[in-house]
Amino acid sequence: MENTEIRDFISNAIDENQVMLFMKGTPERPACGFSMRTAGALNALGVQYAALDILPDPRIREELSKLAGWPTIPQLFVGGELIGGCDIVTEMYESGELAERLDVQMPEEPEERVDEAEAAQAPPAHQGSIQLEDRLEG
């Protein structure tokens, strides 16, 4: 797969999914604490989202960072726009801004931090892998 194809795939994923999370690992098996917290915030809000694991090929991260102008993972996009990484998403979750942005209700006890235990308990609400991995093998 060429770099341009990866870039196009990422760009399409951002355009086509209202809530798109690029992360290390998957919502079920996050491979990094920052990705876990970010997915945890989305799970706690019960929103549908698409997630893409950037780990299978280093070029996914390179192309994504170039495209977004943002150096770190995770990255959350809503409506095609970069919202931020773990810090911003966590801050916005805690303040209720994220719920507002996603047009959902805050869960009860909004003051509670999205910690790892909570992230692990929350049912994954995402739409499943969008299978870039499979396409990379071709």
Partner 1 sequence: MPTTEDLRLRIEQALPNSRVSVEDLTGGGDHFRAEVTSNRFEGLSRIEQHKLVYGVFGDEVGGVIHALSIKTSTP
Choose, by CB under 8 A, the member of 87, 100, 112, 116 that binds partner 1.
87
Tell me: does residue 95 bind partner 1 (CB under 8 A): no
Kindly tell me which of 46 and 101 has the beta carbon lying closer to partner 1. 101
Tell me: does residue 61 bind partner 1 (CB under 8 A): yes
Sheet holding 81-84, edge to edge: 50-53, 19-23, 75-78, 81-84
The Cα 51–Cα 128 span in angstroms is 7
Q: DSSP letter string over 6-35? A: HHHHHHHHHHH-SEEEEESB-SSSBSSHHH
User: Which residue's entry shows tokens 């019960």?
Assistant: 46
Tell me: does residue 15 bind partner 1 (CB under 8 A): no
Kindly tell me which of 50 and 86 has the beta carbon lying closer to partner 1. 86
Tell me: does residue 37 bind partner 1 (CB under 8 A): no
User: Which residue's entry shows tokens 């507002």?
Assistant: 100
Kindly tell me which of 34 and 49 has the beta carbon lying closer to partner 1. 34
Contact positions toward partner 1, by CB under 8 A? 34, 61, 65, 69-72, 82-88, 91
